[in-house]
Amino acid sequence: MWPINGASKAKRIKWGAVQNQISWVYMKMLREGNKTLKVYDVNPYVEVYRFYDNLYGLFNQNLDGAGDVWMWLVIGPKKAMVIDTACGLGDLKGLVDEITENMPLVVVNTHGHSDHARGNSQFGTVYCYETLLPKLKEQDEHIWDKYFDEKGNPLWLEFDRNDIPPFKKYEIVGVPDGYVFNLGGDYDVELIFTGGHTNEHVMFLDKKGRFLFAGDNVCSDVTGCGNGGGKYANLSTFSKALTKLVERINEYDYIFPGHFMVNLENHLMFSLLETVNAVINDPNCYDYKITHISGGGGPGRVRMHKFIRGFSTIAYTESGVYVPDEPTI
């Protein structure tokens, strides 16, 4: 992959899997040429991009070898919303406070994966889908240990460990599907349960800005929405949510995923639903499959990939197509 001369203080040591070249070119052009890019002294690890008047993308390099991650900052009339908290590197709270001029914050998670929720403890209260709450409560001061070798040196990204603020307990509030957060006046953001990427995955619909924040259920590299494991991490659950989102297509114009290409036009949802349903109808219609070797020496995990028209691929496992009590491949 071609080097990207980003503005972040951190420097990449190595990557994990090779990433989609189209996504990589997009990120190279954005990070090296976007005129709104700004890095704040309070947190030199985060690249801040202003996509719309009240919408900022906070770009964080992943602390492991996976894809770098976006946090989203929505400025409402009276409150600001932070969508996901990345890996927790640098002073995220201080950065958000500087951008918003200390507005009250509503902090939410699309899901609980390490690259989306390990900065939670920098904020006093975090909202999530109700079934994610127990998993977030398991977080402790050891959540960053996997990023370092036995000598304490970072494995994937060069940074100072002292720049990770110490973990502290925080309030976690679980809310149901359809819960609406009000940022002041008529500025509402709705939590929408989707499943798919994880059992607890949600999206957030900014009704005023007409943006859909999709987390990891839309991704220009690989859309891993059929991972399996649990009741809802499958294509069947995701298809039901996608169908409803397509029916509401007139409520949002642009999609902002958690990784790689962003500001995607809403018609992508039609192609995504078409592909998901094709796999549900015939799980063997994939275009190719990859076996991921287990680091522990066990059997590899096989993921099938099917192309999404005009976009990337969806990835799914044998157990990630149907709800567990329905027929499998």
The position carrying tokens 């957030």 is: 204
Instruction: Write the DSSP string, 121-143.
Output: GGSSEEEEEGGGHHHHTT--TTT
The answer for residues whose C-beta is within 8 angstroms of residue 255's C-beta and 6 or more apart is 211, 212, 214, 218, 262, 263, 264, 265, 266, 268, 269
pLDDT band at 298 (very low <50, low <70, confident <90, very high): low
Residue 147 has φ and ψ, to the nearest 5°, of -85, 0
Task: Describe the crossing of helices 235-247 and 268-281 by its angle, rounded to 10 degrees.
Answer: 150
Task: Tell me what pLDDT residue 296 has.
Answer: 56
Can you tell me the mean pLDDT for 55-72?
94
How far lies 30's CA from each of 50, 75, 113, 145, in Å?
12, 22, 25, 31
**CB of 286 closer than 8 Å to CB of 275:** no
pLDDT band at 327 (very low <50, low <70, confident <90, very high): low
* Whether the predicted pLDDT of 329 surpasses 90: no
Distance CA 57, CA 317 (A): 31
* Whether the predicted pLDDT of 165 surpasses 80: yes
Domains of the chain, first to last? 11-281 (3.60.15.10)
Can you tell me the mean pLDDT for 299-327?
91
Percent of the chain having pLDDT more than 90?
A: 91
239-259 burial, b at 16+ Cβ within 10 Å, e below that, comes to: bbbbeebeeeeeebebbbbbb
Can you tell me the mean pLDDT for 271-278?
99
Name the residue type at position 186: D
Distance CA 161, CA 212 (A): 34
**CB of 129 closer than 8 Å to CB of 174:** yes
Task: Tell me what pLDDT residue 53 has.
Answer: 98
* Whether the predicted pLDDT of 231 surpasses 70: yes
User: Which of 195 and 67 is assigned the larger pLDDT?
Assistant: 195
* pTM summary value: 0.96
